[in-house]
Amino acid sequence: LIPLPSDRYSIVSGTSAIVPSTAEQGVMNNYNGKVLTRGSNQVRSRFVKKNGQCNVVFTNMEEKRQRYLADIFTTCVDIHWRYLLLIFCTSFIVSWLFFGLIFYSVSLAHGDFGEHPAFKGDGLVTQRMPCILHVQGFIGALLFSMETQTTIGYGWRCVTEECPVAVITVVIQSIVGCIIDSFMIGTIMAKMARPKKRNQTLMFSKNAVIALRDGKLCLMWRVGNLRRSHIVEAHVRAQLIRSYVTAEGEFIPLEQMDLNVGYDEGTDRLFLVSPLVIVHEIDKDSPLYTLSRADLEADDFEIVVILEGMVEATAMTTQFRSSYLSREIFWGHRFEPVIYEDRDRYKVDYARFHKTYEVPSTPHLSAKEATKDLIPMSLSAFCYENEVALSCGEEEDDIFDSSQIVGKERGEERRTSVSVDFQNIKRCSTARHNRRQRDGGCLYSLWKCNKSLDVGGED
């Protein structure tokens, strides 16, 4: 065998039949990777957590710091509050210390901290004008830097005309201070106004269910809005995530397949005033078309559900995510009703939001198998024998019509002159009788089939 590196891994189950086919087809296609599997008693790791966070860690990224610093604004908005507050405080303190050190250096170079008396001609003794008044050391220079950048203006310390360098430094610090204020305040406001916290008042049901609705097997989950303010242009999406092996032997650990929730019909767009049940019809185009109850208990997949819309208060787009593992999907269950009419308004009971009840009439077969069992053939194929009986009946009518015509022409000699195959008439009469019975049986069978679907689809 070809030696396989040990740094390749996957999340497929150890009991899955995909692994042997992956290894065999991989060797056939010169694939030198290794698939490490979980034990049968290990739980599948979520790709998307219940709170919407993606369970993904990025490693071995080239120039990660440079890329993050190149988009410093987004980086500051995305980081935790404790780090943002640390950056906020550090940026101001560093700028105050930096310009305070410059003011101290200018004053020190000018000799403002020593006594240098000057004698004039009239005998009066005066001191030389300093660069910054009332600055006697580094602490004074630091306080002057803070007053300049924050525009406090106590009126005690000020720069003089003796040192143009000090004047230029004041101008530069004022500009830098405005830039820091704008960036930090803008970052904090953007972080506070993010619609991410709006997700805390949106909720998905803890479990999804599979049951009949309108005679069709459907995957359903519930979504609700806890605020009175609406989510404008709300719409939902869903994806099935599972491992997959292509015909060429390529292993895809997380293949994403869309689940249709009514995009073509427009039912994916929601008026989310009260809790709604999102429905995915399991038809022939659904990835779950061959999924039965036994497969659901043994399979290992994840369904990611996404709700998107605009926050009414800020007009900013928000996205709320959650996921359901295969063990969190209840087969043959429905959600309990949560909306009740209370006098002149409707009342929503969120205590029942996550509750379900069992529907024993739900078939354990997959949608594909259930379709074959309930309607095994098309209507024309199912009633084919009736059509044959109908043609025989028409033939019988033609025979009797011919005998009547001959009877009129030949009178009493009708029975002896016309050769009629009474055995054929008897056979066709029997066929006509069977046709009527089977027509009724066909219609009754279809009615019974539809009736069972209707009864199973009622809530």
**Domain identity same for 298 and 149:** no
Helix (H) / strand (E) element for 314: namely: none
Q: What is the rounded distance in angstroms from the CA atom of residue 77 to the CA atom of residue 186? A: 10
**Does a structural domain hold residue 133?**
yes
What single-letter amino acid sits at 23? A
Cβ proximity of 359 and 211 under 8 Å: yes
**Does a structural domain hold residue 32?**
yes
Q: What is the rounded distance in angstroms from the CA atom of residue 48 to the CA atom of residue 56? A: 8
The torsion angle over the Cα atoms of residues 91, 92, 95 and 99, rounded to 10 degrees, is -170
**For the chain, how many structural domains are there in total?**
4
Q: What was the pLDDT predicted at 63?
A: 86
**Domain identity same for 209 and 354:** yes
**Domain identity same for 102 and 231:** no
**pTM of the full predicted structure?**
0.63
Domain containing 394 equals 375-457
Judged against a pLDDT cut of 60, whether residue 456 lies above it is answered with no
**Domain identity same for 281 and 417:** no
**Does a structural domain hold residue 69?**
no
- For residue 106, what are its two tokens? 């200018």
Q: Which of 164, 192, 220 corresponds to the end of one domain?
A: 192
Q: Which long-range contacts (CB under 8 A, 24 or more apart) does 21-29 make?
A: 21/245, 21/249, 22/245, 22/249, 22/251, 24/249, 25/245, 25/248, 25/249, 26/249, 26/251, 27/1, 27/2, 28/249, 29/248, 29/249, 29/250
**Domain identity same for 225 and 258:** yes
- We report the CATH number of the domain holding residue 328 as 2.60.40.1400
**Interstrand relation of 208-213 and 329-331 (parallel, antiparallel or unpaired):** parallel
| Cβ neighbours, 10 Å, residue 269 | 14
Cβ proximity of 321 and 49 under 8 Å: no
Q: Which of 341, 362, 383 corresponds to the end of one domain?
A: 362
Bridge partners for 357 per DSSP: 334
Judged against a pLDDT cut of 90, whether residue 168 lies above it is answered with yes
Tell me: the pLDDT tens digits for 238-284?
999 998 888 898 999 889 999 999 988 888 999 999 999 999 999 99
**Domain identity same for 182 and 329:** no
Of 206, 202, 205, which is closest to residue 227 (Cα–Cα)?
202
Q: What is the rounded distance in angstroms from the CA atom of residue 322 to the CA atom of residue 335? A: 18
Mean pLDDT of 6-19: 39
**Domain identity same for 394 and 245:** no
**Does a structural domain hold residue 415?**
yes
Q: What was the pLDDT predicted at 4?
A: 38
Judged against a pLDDT cut of 70, whether residue 222 lies above it is answered with yes
**Domain identity same for 220 and 355:** yes
Given pLDDT bands bounded at 50, 70 and 90, which one contains residue 5? very low
Q: What was the pLDDT predicted at 153?
A: 80
**Domain identity same for 319 and 205:** yes
**Does a structural domain hold residue 62?**
no
**Domain identity same for 301 and 225:** yes
Handedness of CA 295, 298, 301, 302 (dihedral sign): positive
**Domain identity same for 321 and 228:** yes
Of 240-249, 293-302, 434-443, give the lowest mean pLDDT range. Answer: 434-443
Q: What was the pLDDT predicted at 265?
A: 87
**Domain identity same for 229 and 335:** yes
Q: At what angle do helices 138-150 and 81-110 cross, to 10 degrees?
A: 120
**Does a structural domain hold residue 68?**
no
